[in-house]
Amino acid sequence: MFVTAKIQKKDGNLENYDRTKLLLSMIRAQATPDQAEQALSQVESWLTSQQAEFITTGDLHNKVAEVLKSFAPHAAQGYEIYRKSKAQSQPQ
């Protein structure tokens, strides 16, 4: 699925949705490649259904965690931990 969504980063900048970046973050959080692809399919359907000008990174991360919880709870927990640790390591 080709998604043209804009993602608003914490600093306010807008970036194009990056499928690979999201896929790799789920795999780093212990989702299998198949689980990550399954989650991406659902997240991308959600993204294309949104009528907003952009989606915040927080909303996107919450949706990923929600989708992962439905079929890979361990990966959802790992994803939330991974996102928190990444946020803490970035300069303010």
**Hey, where are the domains in the chain?**
6-89
Gap between the Cα atoms of 49 and 13, Å rounded: 22
Query: How high is the pLDDT of residue 92?
Result: 55
pTM (2 decimals)? 0.88
Query: How high is the pLDDT of residue 2?
Result: 72
Q: Are 66 and 20 in contact (CB under 8 A)?
A: no
Query: How high is the pLDDT of residue 88?
Result: 80
DSSP character at residue 14 = E
Q: Residue 31, SS3?
A: coil
How would you write the pLDDT of the chain (92 residues) with one tens digit per residue? 678 899 999 999 999 999 999 999 999 989 999 999 999 999 999 999 998 999 999 999 999 999 999 989 999 999 999 888 877 877 65
Q: Which strand (E) or helix (H) includes residue 15? A: strand 14-16
Gap between the Cα atoms of 31 and 76, Å rounded: 8
